[in-house]
Amino acid sequence: MGYRLLVLVLVIGCGNPAPVASPRAEPGPTCKSREPLGTIDDFVRPERSGFEVAKPRSCGKGEGYIRIERTIGTRSLGTGQGTGGGFDQGCTSLPADPSDQAACPVINPAAILMAAYTELEHRHIEVNGVGLGPCGDVNGPYATWNMAAMVTDWKHATTLVLVISDLLERYDVAGFVGAGVRGVPCVIPL
């Protein structure tokens, strides 16, 4: 009995000491969401043969969505919804050889968007995710989701549109995805 009590006392006595309040202690950092940088006017809509790049659709708080559609192509985007509500049709990674049509005749939109996301990261452009885009609605079909790769500054939206359109062309994909501009939300870890 005495041995167990001694071990208990040692465990309690070896814990971290209680923090001591300092009269000059600064308050901890506060979490603030950040709206996108720049304005919609910073976006320059590129014109490319075989593509329809829509005017940006504003969603409030400075956010926006730009639909990028390639009207020609031998491959298609897999926009069919799976049982969980997401889009699981098509290859989820891009084929090593872009010209190998048999390897992947249908490409999942996430594969194109993740490749664009990665390319912008390599260029040291701040990206803000892939998936449900600004102005999107998860309760409908693919077209309502505004699937997009997103940047945090309107001055990078043109670059994002060009990167996405290059990928659609390189892999010869017909269909549409988007470029989004969205701020950085405040996240407080639990």
* Average of per-residue pLDDT across 8-26: 40
Q: How far apart are CA 125 and CA 80, in angstroms?
A: 31
Q: How far apart are CA 130 and CA 138, in angstroms?
A: 14
Task: Find the helix or strand (DSSP H, E) in which 123 lies.
Answer: none
* Predicted TM-score (pTM) above 0.95: no
Q: How far apart are CA 152 and CA 128, in angstroms?
A: 6
Residue-wise pLDDT tens digits, 27-38? 555 666 689 999
Residues ≥6 apart with Cβ < 8 Å to 92: 108, 110, 111
Name the pLDDT band for 9 (thresholds 50, 70, 90): very low
Kind of pairing, strands 57-60 and 63-70? antiparallel
Confidence (pLDDT) at 115 = 98
Confidence (pLDDT) at 8 = 35
Confidence (pLDDT) at 145 = 95
Name the pLDDT band for 15 (thresholds 50, 70, 90): very low
Neighbours of 106 (CB within 10 A): 15
Residues ≥6 apart with Cβ < 8 Å to 118: none
Residues ≥6 apart with Cβ < 8 Å to 7: none
Question: What tokens were used for 113?
Answer: 């968007």
Q: How far apart are CA 147 and CA 145, in angstroms?
A: 5
**Mean confidence (pLDDT) of the chain:** 84
Q: Is the Cβ–Cβ distance between 84 and 122 less than 8 Å?
A: no
Confidence (pLDDT) at 173 = 96
Q: Is the Cβ–Cβ distance between 138 and 145 less than 8 Å?
A: yes
Higher pLDDT, 83 or 79: 79
Strand partners, 178: 67, 148
Residue-wise pLDDT tens digits, 103-142? 899 999 999 999 999 999 999 999 999 999 999 999 889 9
Asked if residue 90 has pLDDT above 70, the reply is yes
Higher pLDDT, 81 or 181: 181
